Amino acid sequence: MFLPDSVTTAAFALLALALLAESLRLFWPSRLALISSLALAIWAERLHFSAIGLVLGALLLSYAVWRYQRAELYPVWLALLLAMALHALPGFDNPLLWQGYLTANSRYYQLYWNYDKALAGYCVLMVLSHSPLIQTQGKLALAWVGALLLLLILALAYFAGVLLWAPRWPIWFVYWLFANFFFVALVEEACFRAGLQRWLELRTEPFAALMASSLLFGLVHLAAGWEWAGLAFMAGLAYGLIYAATRQLLLAALAHVVFNSINLLLFSYS
């Protein structure tokens, strides 16, 4: 296991704090944490010179998208954030903490802390945090349906042979949990549930919005295979139901990270 240095750890901790504060609409604490994180990331050489301009451009473009709401800005904004989230932009040095096989018959696994993907999520939250909130309909039963659907997905994957029973406790689990909640679950739920699903709900029926956002969530997992895209589609439905019932981004992210944790601790991928 390769532990990051203290400056890098502080940079990621402050970025996580910025994401959390932004999701809670605590704007000044969020901005202060972000600026501090960027300064430390540059100091630790996790952000190189070529990335500084890209980061500033993404932040300024996110502000312009929120402030002016001009249709022609959205394709450029989305393309930039997608490239950042997919690690396609230069100048980011994401630390690799661990790599290897979780079990003898599992897929090769690499644990990264991804600064670029987290920044893309922050830019999404910058725009979302200023958007009007859609009030919950009080259908908390939908949240329980979503939770039960997650259990059903695990059962289906296990009996289909996609998942193999292999309980374990990796020594790097705490580091994985930190990254998975803040830099994966929170970012993806901001994009697909608080972002796309809510945007579609304002323009179409809630069911259509749920299906469309879940389908896209499944398609972005297509690189892992069709079976994983299908399971991701079902998981997207579950997270979407939890979000639709509660209107709480953090609850959807919590369900996401709990589901991922169960996968990591109890199963291996065939």
- 98, 2 in Cβ contact below 8 A? yes
- Whether the model clears a pTM of 0.85, i.e. scores above it, the answer is yes
Q: How many angstroms separate the CA atoms of 179 and 13, rounded?
A: 10
Total of domains in the chain: 2
Query: Are 158 and 125 contained in the same domain?
Result: no
The answer to whether residues 52 and 149 belong to one domain is no
For 158, the domain range is 134-270
Domain's final residue, options 96, 130, 164 = 130
Q: From 78, 97, 130, give the residue that closes a domain.
A: 130
Same domain (yes/no): 51, 120 = yes
**DSSP labels for 60-105?**
HHHHHHHHH--TTHHHHHHHHHHHHHTT-SSSB-PPEEEEEESSTT
**Per-residue pLDDT at 137 exceeds 60:** no
Percentage of residues of the chain with pLDDT beyond 70: 96
Examine the pLDDT at 175 and tell me if it is beyond 70.
yes
103, 158: one domain: no
Residue 103 has pLDDT above 80, yes or no: no
Is the model's pLDDT at 174 over the cut of 80? yes
Over residues 46-88, the pLDDT tens digits come to 999 999 999 999 999 999 998 888 888 989 998 999 899 989 9
- The answer to whether residues 164 and 213 belong to one domain is yes
- The answer on 92 and 190 residing in a single domain is no
Share of the chain above pLDDT 90, in %: 60
Same domain? 249 vs 218 = yes
If DSSP codes are grouped into helix, strand and coil, which group holds residue 240?
A: helix
- So what's the pLDDT on residue 146? 92
Q: Is residue 162 domain-shared with residue 270, that is, in the same domain?
A: yes
